[in-house]
Chain A
Amino acid sequence: DGGITQSPKYLFRKEGQNVTLSCEQNLNHDAMYWYRQDPGQGLRLIYYSQIVNDFQKGDIAEGYSVSREKKESFPLTVTSAQKNPTAFYLCASTADRGGGNQPQHFGDGTRLSIL
């Protein structure tokens, strides 16, 4: 079955450490997204990519970085510059490159905590 796989499910970060969250999709979707979810705040967009080798900052990109070297993969790095990284991170993809009618498909998320 096609879908989005996020790993790991749980991740712990030490002070000053960079950590990378994996997101892989086999839906042949062009566009991929990273969201951060905090309790009571809904989802906020961190980065997005509409095509391989191109990505754009979302609303809360500071302290995060991404790459899009392959269509299937869109890893997110939480850098030491992100002072409050504890959250639930969700990756999504869509076949819609901007038409707006297609839904986004989500992975099961990665919960990141500070050690």
Chain B
Amino acid sequence: GNSVTQMEGPVTLSEEAFLTINCTYTATGYPSLFWYVQYPGEGLQLLLKATKADDKGSNKGFEATYRKETTSFHLEKGSVQVSDSAVYFCALSPQGGGSQGNLIFGKGTKLSVKP
């Protein structure tokens, strides 16, 4: 079946450090891949997406590249800020949307950035 595995948190970094949050997936064909961010007490916001192999999604200094050969979609940012402290979710939508059309989420990775 379809699944998403994220690195477990929490991840604690100092401001301006480099961030990587690993995400690997299991799915048939070519799913669409997403990163969402959740700030405390809020819903999820789309951070970036990629819909085909080798696509790079980017937004607000965050990047992730769809790697079909390693079934990965790792999130990176070159220099984190305190305001990036949040929970990050990797998600996939099966090729063709699947029977439910919903997203399949990883368990989330909590990031804390210290000044």
Q: Show the binding face of A for B, using Cβ within 8 Å.
A: 4, 6, 31, 33, 40-43, 45, 48, 50, 56, 58, 90, 92, 94, 96-101, 103-109
Contacts and interface: CB of A to CB of B under 8 A. Distances in A.
B106 A42 contact: yes
Given A42-B89, A106-B43, A106-B45, A96 B97 contact: yes
Contacts of B44: 43, 90, 92, 106
B52 to A, nearest CB: 9
A108 B43 contact: yes
A41 B36 CA distance: 15
A50 to B, nearest CB: 6
25 contacts: A6-B43, A31-B101, A33-B102, A40-B108, A41-B107, A42-B108, A45-B102, A48-B102, A50-B101, A56-B100, A58-B102, A90-B44, A92-B44, A97-B101, A98-B97, A98-B98, A98-B101, A100-B32, A100-B96, A101-B32, A101-B93, A103-B49, A104-B46, A104-B103, A106-B44
A99 B96 contact: yes
Contacts of B95: 100
B100 A94 contact: no
B96 A98 contact: yes
B42 interface: yes
B31 A43 contact: no
3 smallest A-B Cβ distances: which pairs? A98-B97, A100-B97, A106-B43
Nearest to A99: B97
A94 B43 contact: no
Interface residues of B, number: 27
Contacts of B108: 40, 42
Contact of A100 (B36, B98, B105): B98
A41 B96 CA distance: 26
Contacts of A107: 43
A42 B105 CA distance: 6
Given A45-B100, A50-B101, A109 B42 contact: yes
B102 to A, nearest CB: 5
B51 interface: yes
